[in-house]
Structure formats: structure tokens, C-alpha cells
Structure 1
Amino acid sequence: MDTIPAILRAAAERYGDRPAYVDGDRTLTYAGLLDEVRELARRYVGHGLAAGERVVVWGPNSIEWVVAALATTYAGGTLVPANSRYTGHEVAELVDRTGATVVMVADGFLGRSQLEELLAASEIATVRVLGELSTLSLDHRGEERQVREATAEEVEARADAVSPDEVADILFTSGTTGRPKGAMSAHRQTIGVARAWAELGGVTADDRYLVVNPFFHSFGYKIGIIVGLLSGATLYPAATFDVDQTMQLIETERITLLPGAPTIYQSLLAAPGRADRDLSSLRLAVTGAAVVPVVLIERMRTAPPEGLAIDHVVTAFGMTEAVVVTMCREGDSAETVATTCGRAIPGMETRIDDESGELLVRGDYVMLGYLDDPAATAEAIDDDGWLHTGDIGVLDEHGNLRITDRLKDMYISGGFNVYPAEVEQALMRMDGIQDVAVVGVPDERMGEVGKAYVVGTAPADDVIAFAKERLANFKVPRLVETVDALPRNLSGKVLKTELRK
């Protein structure tokens, strides 16, 4: 049965005492994972979580994140991951939009006080339980609540009642309007796309998978946590990416899988201590999210000291609304891997719109729709079921996809999608800014960073400081230029192509 509780039970039965997660000095087996998930789910239910209610999980990669997320669906709830870099205001908006009744927080991450930030926001009226991820403790609202003792049988009945067609998760992605949109996926979709990816990558219980992709993103959650449950692989969650720690982990734990953005592999190749490390255990690397240089793929496949000697290097294309759409296959040439995103995975199909050149995708893993936004859903998915991606691309004679441009203004900074309209909305609230436009500009380390063109009197340093208070770090413009006026066409639309020049 394609539900997350069902595949968790199956993993515990099949892989039992095999390690599911290794996080620092702590190892958790698949059987132990099921036990911890059941216990937290029981406490969720005892604190009043009803079937279908939403739980926000806000924190970096950790075993506790996994338990909190899986316990949500085990108790019949819907998971809403929040970006670990978000501010309290941004998370409060997710809570407000979803009506979440439980929020699990990694307080103190990156030296911040996330609990204080969230409590300071007035938009979290629906939240009954505020928990702390590090200890999986519930009820951090400054007062004690009466809770009942839910039974184990009650929790198992909740898990049994989950349907493959129910919404398993809502992952938020920003749109061109600047307001985040919640992409809803059913259990069967979240599991199906993870199964397709794992089969194409040949993932097995013998693999040791270093997960640097954040769990709040579909790449870390669905292509990480769910792939683990399906394959029995051992996952190593990384809270942040540190190149020296990554190399040490690869060497000492004999890591075999390392999917991630191109910047991860570029950092490894450029690391001063790489020659002293044995990274030969790596067998599979899956990258994407940005333009990948052919030479990078070649070096990833080349033997040391020039390269990383990774046996199987592939690229893929996906988006929050469809997770994985295309993927290269083993045996594809370095040029195919670097210049294309591969072919449609089983269950998905692609085509290019004859008039606009836009990539359209259709299939089993296209989202159910956007949360509480039928108009945006209808705009994204047409009557024939084709999802309009907003990317311009071409398909070669083998069906390999190459992205050539963007219909939208989105840019990618360090592997994260940034939508300028959202940044502009935030900056327009600042005194001294009359008009603003944000575009992505090339950056050697991050791929692209934001540049804000500002009309007004606000000093550049103040603009950046204002953005840092309200936006996740990857969204904050790195460059600010003051201009007399923004270039616009006759209809008033900002001509961002001129700004990028």
C-alpha cells in the first residue's frame, strides 16, 4: 500500500536492526525509527492532533526532523516543511496559510532563537502545540496544558486509515507574484517519485547516503528520507555543508551516495585537503538546480588527483510541483549529463509548447494542486493535465531535455530557487525605497546572487540589513545599486533583461 506509514512499517520489518540513520555519535536502526515515530505520533494524538491537520517542521537536517515528519503522517496528519533559514515572520505566514496546529522547531540553529521569533509573530493563533525538535518535546508555549494518554492501538488505527490519495505533504514554493504557494502531494505521489529515482540510481540497503540536500526541500525529504525507507540505505543527515567535515565523513563512513547542487562538487574539487582524503567509496552523484559545466562532470568522473572518481554521475530536472521530471541514465556521456537533464522518468512525460517554447510536463508525480488557490492551480496545470513549468527548453531526438531560458525571473543561488518578486515585496516596505527590481547576476561561488536596483534614498548597507531581518539568507541581495528610474515598457512592466545586461 503506497502510504508513508505502510512503507515505514515495511522498512522496519525488512531491515530491522540495520542502521537507518547515523547522526554524529548516534545510530538509529529501522526498527528503532519505527518505535520513535510511533511514540511521537502517540503524543501528537494525545495533544489533540486530528487526522488531516497540518504540522510544520522547522529546522536543519537531523534524526529528530525525520521522526517529527514521519510521526506527522503516521498520526494521519499532513507535513509542512519550513526552510531552516526562514525568519519567524516567514514561518508564521506558513502557519497562518496552512492553519497548522503543531509546529516543531529547532531552537538555537545558527545562533538564533527561533522559538522567540515565532512567538513574537502574531499570525500563529491556530498553533496549539509548539515543540522543540532537538528533544522531540511538545508544548513549549510557556504554560502547561492538560493532555490525554493516547493508546498505541489508537495510533495504529490512525496509520491504518491513511489513504494513498490523501495529502501527505505541502511544500511551499514562491511564485512570480512573490507570495509562496503550497504544492500538495498525495502519499502515492511522494512514494512513487522516490521509488522511480531510487530504481534509476540503483539504490540498495548497502548504500550509505550523505544527505546534504535540506529535508525541507523535496530533494532532501522525498529523494532522501523516503528513498531511504524504500531502499534500506543508511542516511547521514548534514545540518549544514562543511567541505572538510563532508570529506571526513565520506572517508570514515565510506559514503556511496552524494546527491546535491553543483556547488557541492565544485567545493570538493577545490578543497585544499582533498588529496589527503580517500573519497573512492562514492559511486553515485546526482546534480542539477543550475547549469552544470561539462568539465565539472568530467572531473567528477576522473580519477584523483584531478577528479573524484565517482562511478555514476547524472543530472536531473525537477521542481517542487513535480519533484523529479527527467533524469540521466547510467552510461550517458559526460556531455549529455552536463548539457541536458536527461529523459523523462517512468510515469512522467515531457513536451515543448510549439508557440512559447515552454517545457510542459505531465504524469503521476505532478502535484494535486496549490493549497487554497484554485486559480493558480488552473494557471499552472491545463485542462489536459500538462504542468506549465515556466522554463524554456528543447528536447533532442532521444528525449533528453535541455533548459535554455526562463519564462519567469527566478534565479538559483547556491542551489536554492529565489523569486525576485518576493524579495521586492519585502524591500518595498522599507522607508527610503520608492521602487525596486531584483535580478540574479553571475557569481563564481554561488552560481547567481541577487542584485537590487533601488530608486530612492536608502543606503545600500541599510537595504541589505533590512532584507536580512525579513528574508532567509539566500534571498538577501548581495549587491545594491541606486538608480534614478527603473527601465519599463509601455505597459509599466520592468524590463529586467536590460537590468541583467
Structure 2
Amino acid sequence: TLRASIAISCAPILFHDAAHDIAIDARKVAFETLADWLAPEGLAPDPVAVAPGDPFNIIYSSGTTGTPKGIVQPHSMRWAHISRAALGFGDAVTMVVTPLYSNTTLVSFIPTLAWGGTIVLMGKFDAADFVRLAEKHRATHVMLVPVQYQRIMALPDFDAHDLTSFRFKTCTSAPFPAALKADVLARWPGYLVEYYGMTEGGGTTALVCNAHPAKLHTVGVPVDGHDIRMIDEEGREVPRGETGEVVGRSSAMMSGYHGRAQATSEAEWFDAKGSRYIRHGDLGRFDEDGFLILMDRKKDLIISGGFNVYPSDLEAILIAHPQVRDCSVVGVPSEAWGETPIGFYVGEGDPQQILAWFNAQVGKTQRLSALERIDELPRNAIGKILKRELRDRYLAQ
């Protein structure tokens, strides 16, 4: 996948460490010899005129459903992130614990560098090492994905660490359970903000958890200048409060997928005025106060016997079992129902007993056909569960 992404991007230079010295048709510069590659000190680069729409970087999607796509982000999109001086990046000590190639990382990494803050970069995330380093460096900012929050809060000695220096903790990239948000609020000082959005841009919502403890089941409200709407299967906007596919528009949107015009077109939606929106691929609705509630990924929706079954609803019930530490639900083909939900969990106990307990909690159309215990759920580098691997695992049996 790495070799394919490099080839598609047409990048003329590959910067790499010793572990990633791969054979490709491009100039390679090892980090260990970076000093030899750099221009002499004091030499100024030639001036270059940069327009807001010019490409800043290409980020490759997480590839949870197939081949990663190169997302071209313009300078205007990055400048929108850098402009957030009010978040205190000028004197920030920002912990970076997610991959540098991820947009999840860059939305805090780049503003910290731009405003002159300090970066504490972990080579590999480990919950115990994180709290130790955060305490040592008096960290103020961090962006974590939900599974990292989960592992940190589960540390037996978490409460023994002094983390009072934290001012701004954020989360994105995957569903953030309300109970976990509440635990972070109760035991970890500083603001906790959940962002919902896409690497492709579009619309972004923010939930300031400290200010809205009764809305932890939502992902917040659209941030200023962001327009989020819901559309149906035919691309028609649905009334406020009804469930539909999330589409969003803002100044922070990708130019398109690099070299993939058809994929770019499929990711766009235009309103009656011709304004361009990005399809988020999620199903959601606004509540009566304008907070966005996400139902599920559109591609993960299970249609069983003609009924819509949302995996996230089932996962919220399954995780409540005292012997279940982590879980996921996927749909698989069924001769009787078209599709049927099956579950996977990490934890203890007899799967058949937990399955019986679960099916007694839900309606007939939501019952799991099977439940398997596994050692660990497959995830990508930023914590998203790879549901296709679970589905393939089940079908291969």
C-alpha cells in the first residue's frame, strides 16, 4: 500500500528512516543523512507565489474500505487550522501520539509549530509512557483517538499522575462513547473537545464536553462558518431532525482525490444554488437543540428483513455487559434476511451466554445471529476498527 501510494502521488523525493528503505523509482533521502541533504545555513529559498487553492499536501485516506485515496488539501484548508490562535498554541506543549501522516495529527501538530509551541513526539503510543511523559513535560494540549483515551483511563495508577497542566484535550476519527467522555471529564483536568469531520473537509462539528455534559451522546454543533445538512438516497435534502446522509461545506475542503476524478465526483453533493458540499458517508440527524447525533457509517448500515439495523446501537448495548471490554458488530449475507448482524468482542465469559443476554435486551430485528470472542479488534493506525476484516474473518470460516 505504501509503495502504491507513493507511485500514485508522483512524489519525486521519499524521506524515510532505516525501517522504510523500500525500492521505488524516486530520489530517497534517509533521515539519518538529512543534514547532508539540507541547503547551507543562511541560504534563502527563492520566493514563490502561493494561492489559497494551491495544494499544500496530499494525505492518503485510512483505507478502511479499500485502496487509500490521495486527498489533496489546499493552503486555505491548512490556514484555517493555523488561524486558531485562540486555542493557545503559542505557549502549548503538545503531545503527538498519532501518526504524522494522519490529518488527526496535523490539525494540532501544524498549529503548534506555526505559533511557536513545543512538540513532544512519541515514537509509539503506550498509555503508561504517555502519562509519564505528559507529567514530565507539563503537557497542555493533545489529540487522541478514542481507543487511546480508553487505554489511558484504564491505567490502575492514572489518578496518581499530576496532569493538571492540560488545558485542551481533543478527540476525533472514531466513535467516542459517552461513558468514556464522562470518565475523562471527571478525572482528567482541562477542556475536552470532540471534533467530528473528515480529512476531505466539508463540515466540522465540535462538542465542548465540559459545557454540555448532557450532550455527550452527540458530536456537538457545526463550528462557525460550517454548513451541515442531511440528504436522502436520491440526494434530496431532508427536513431538520430527520435522519439522512451527512454532507458538509466550509472553507476547509479538499480540492479532490489526486488523479481520481470519478471518486472526487462521487464524494461531492451540490445544493439547488450550485454550492459544493462533501459527502461524509455517515448517517445522522440534528436533535432539537441543533446537536448532531451520528447513527452509523452509511456503508455499515445493516438491512435485515427490510429493517434498518444500526451497528452502533447494538455495540452500545453489547459493551454494557460487564465481561465485554471492546466490541464491534458487522452485517453478513443471510439467505433468510438478506443481511444479519454478528458480533465480535474482547473480554471474558462464554460467548453463548453473552449472546443470550444480549438478544434478550433487544428487539427481534436487532438480535445477533452469532457472537465471537477475539483477542483484539483489528484497527488501523489511528484507531478505526477495520470492519471488513471482521466480516472476511467470519465468512472465511
Q: Same fold (TM over 0.5)?
A: yes
Match of 1:51 in 2: none
**C-alpha separation between the residues in 1 aligned to 2:181 and 2:385?**
25
1:271 paired residue number: 155
Which residue of structure 2 aligns with residue 298 of structure 1? 182
| Secondary structure in 1 matching 2:18 | coil
2:285 to 394, 397, 400: 394
Partner of 1:348: 226
Matching residue within 95, 118, 123 for 2:6: 95
Kindly tell me: are residues 301 and 330 of structure 1, through their superposed partners in 2, closer, same or farther at Cα, counting changes over 3 Å? Answer: closer
Q: Report the equivalent of 1:381.
A: 268
Cα 1:260–1:289 change in 2 (3 A) is: same
Matched, 1:250 2:139: no
> Measured at CA, do residues 474 and 334 of structure 1 come closer, stay the same or move farther in structure 2, by a change above 3 Å?
closer
> Contact conserved, 1:205 with 1:231, CA < 8 A, in 2?
yes
Describe how 1:178-217 pairs up with structure 2 within 5 A: 178-196=66-84, 199=86, 202-217=87-102
Shift of 1:295: 2.3
Percent of counterpart pairs with the same letter? 24
C-alpha deviation, 1:92, in angstroms: 1.2
Would the alpha carbon gap of residues 216 and 394 (structure 1) be closer, same or farther in structure 2, given more than 3 Å must change? Answer: same
* Counterpart position of 1:161: 49
Q: In the superposition, relative to structure 1, how do residues 92 and 138 fare at CA in structure 2: closer, same or farther (>3 Å)?
A: farther
Q: Deviation at 1:132?
A: 1.2
* Code of the aligned partner of 1:348: H
Compared CA separation, residues 441 and 241, structure 1 to 2 (3 A): farther
1:171 corresponding residue in structure 2: 59
TM-score by length of 2: 0.69
Call closer, same or farther: CA 1:172–1:149 in 2, change over 3 Å: closer
User: Among residues 85, 94, 105, which one is paired with 1:220 in the alignment?
Assistant: 105
CA distance 1:301–1:233, shift in 2 (3 Å): same
**Structure 2: tracts of 5 or more residues without a match:** 232-236, 302-310, 313-329, 331-338, 348-377
Name the SS for the 1:191 alignment partner: helix
- Cα distance in structure 1, aligned partners of 2:63 and 2:148: 26
Alpha-carbon shift at residue 267 of structure 1 (Å): 1.4
CA, structure 1 residues 441+203, in 2 after alignment: closer, same or farther (shift >3 Å)?
Answer: farther
Query: Does the CA contact (< 8 Å) of 1:294 and 1:334 recur in 2?
Result: no
C-alpha separation between the residues in 2 aligned to 1:260 and 1:335?
22
User: How many matched pairs?
Assistant: 315
In the TM superposition, what is the alpha-carbon distance from 1:266 to its structure 2 partner? 1.7
Q: Quick one: distance in 2 between partners of 1:239 and 1:194?
A: 24
Deviations 1:388-430 (A, max 9, x none): 1111011123332111011124999xxxxxxx9xxxxxxxxxx
Q: Which amino acid aligns with 2:2?
A: V
Matched residue, 1:460: none
AA partner of residue 107 (structure 1): A
Cα distance in structure 1, aligned partners of 2:39 and 2:88? 40
**Alignment CA distance shift 1:348-1:194 (3 Å):** farther
Q: 8 Å contact 2:61–2:68 — kept in the other structure?
A: yes
Question: Shift of residue 444 of structure 1?
Answer: 4.7
Q: Distance in 1 between matches of 2:214 and 2:135?
A: 29
1:259 deviates by 1.8
Per the alignment, in what secondary structure is the counterpart of residue 144 of structure 2? Answer: coil
> Residues 66-465 of structure 1 correspond to what in structure 2 (within 5 A)?
90-108=1-19, 114-115=20-21, 118-119=22-23, 124-125=24-25, 127=26, 129-136=27-34, 155-158=44-47, 160-173=48-61, 178-196=66-84, 199=86, 202-221=87-106, 223-302=107-186, 307-308=187-188, 310-322=189-201, 325-329=204-208, 331-336=210-215, 338-353=216-231, 354=237, 357-383=244-270, 384-409=275-300, 442-444=344-346
Give the C-alpha shift of residue 275 in structure 1.
Answer: 3.7
Give the root-mean-square deviation of aligned CA atoms. Answer: 3.6
Q: Cα–Cα, structure 1 residues 396 and 473, in superposed 2: closer, same or farther, change >3 Å?
A: closer
Contact kept? 1:195, 1:230, Cα under 8 Å: no
Q: How far did 1:162 drift?
A: 3.1
The answer on whether the counterparts of 1:288 and 1:341 sit within 8 Å (CA) in structure 2 is no
Structure 1, unmatched stretches of 5+, are 1-89, 109-113, 140-147, 413-419, 421-436, 446-466, 485-501
User: Cα gap change, 1:176/1:245 in structure 2, threshold over 3 Å: closer, same or farther?
Assistant: closer
Amino acid at match of 2:298: L
| Cα distance change, pair 481–406 in 1 and its aligned pair in 2 (3 A) | closer
Maintained 8 Å contact 1:352/1:358: yes
TM-score (norm 1): 0.56
Aligned-residue offset at 1:483: 5.2
Letter in 2 for 1:318: G
Secondary structure of 1:244's aligned partner: helix
The 1:164/1:330 distance shift into structure 2, 3 A limit, reads: same
